[in-house]
Structure 1
């Protein structure tokens, strides 16, 4: 009795679909990537559809999905859906991590606002990168050697010479990139100090001049007080019955009957003596006044004072006081003789 083999072909839907990536390893921005979906099924899967997680619309269809010139925004989880006549099933997710170098590094300064000389300033560099930046280097424009390293750069007791443009260089395993320049201006630089210096100099010069003027004026007043008055010339000018009145005779001292200039000004006496040349009446004031000529301008070169008589002399044993100084104003009037 002959027996025959019986083949049983069991049909089933897709089983354990999976996604592979090529090339394997690190995916760098700008490169190309191929995703491939595989699944066991009977009959074989006739349709593969590609999705990115959290995105409803499919990305592509087919067993392979090619991404050319991949970008950082292409990073994410991808999966495929395998389908045959008996069913469909989702594969496990495959994470695509696109690496890229530092992007758009920028510099910020703290505190913000005006930077005063002597204060402290902190510069901070920030940059988007995958993997993250592992090294920051600080430079001042037109200076080749670096100023510092690290994400932050602190300048303590900042000076005017620290003014300038600063930038950072951000670097990771993919590449490096320079930030834009940040201008640092320290208040109190030469341009901002010129006006105050001129003002201070002007004020100083003005004060010095005023002090000098006050000193000169004080010295002049002191000199005038200490300088003795000179003997004035005694002059009387007569004109047709009118005389120039009030010529002044100063600092005459009667010592032993002789007119002597007295430097001291104590015990002053002022007297007005009026002469009328038309009268013959004697004028007696214990003084003899001798005019040079009645017909001409009368000038008195000296005024002599008679010493005191014996009856009026001071008593014996009493010190004789110095004769007082006499200031006299002599007014004369002259009449024409016929």
Structure 2
């Protein structure tokens, strides 16, 4: 028998045995079936507990089978990968459930009439009404807060990264860290105390001031991280050509990081768009349309959701309006994220070929 024939008859032993590619799916299906069976036998009605049991069984079964077929070393690798997948599912399932529930319940009354009419004289227990006044209030309050917080946050981050040295920079960094953890109700109480001192009535701009306080540290932190990602070689090359530092920041540093800065600002807007406590304390809510944020009580989407849900006892109409407003708020945040991605791509520096 020739050497070639012997080689063909003896498969290579450099690669050990391994589980088939479909094994994770089979193990997952088996674990889920066993978890459901155990849940029914033990009288466990919660599907969440079924899922947790299935995840635990999946990890154990994966390790046992991989250790028997592939060895302990490969089994440890598979168990680490399985832990990542289980953690991913644990994070995704609540998110998908939240979106699905909001869409299923929010679409009952969400239509053009709902988006273009206010509550007016419609009682909470009656059908009809809409969120037009709340949309106007949210856009004005969040817009004014952004106009105040975004420049302050970006300039503060520029100071910390480009100029900040010594005790002042450390103090600014410390207070930014403190402001990051301030509860929203505390910011609302701070503005409310000022309003009481000057004997002012609730109005939309007061809510914008509280939202700006919450937005500033988020913008500072995100902008600071983006500016740190700009290579120092770009700054040094610009300074070597005799260009002043302020012009280097304006023409080199900011254009290079504008995509990340814009994304950070949009995320900060999304963070404050759903705040309820400051608006409840300072804006007070209004059933009618108020286009002037500097005079009189005004409505906003988070406050509208809270008030409709609070008054939904025995009234399905208010309950449905609360879910429809929640779906609108989620869509608003999603649009902001899409705009951030579009602006980031548009303003991103293009590398030459």
TM-score, reference length from structure 2? 0.18
Q: Larger Rg: 1 or 2?
A: 1
Of Structure 1 and Structure 2, the greater helix share is in 2
Kindly indicate which of the two structures has a greater share of residues assigned to strand. 1
The TM-score with structure 1 as length reference comes to: 0.18
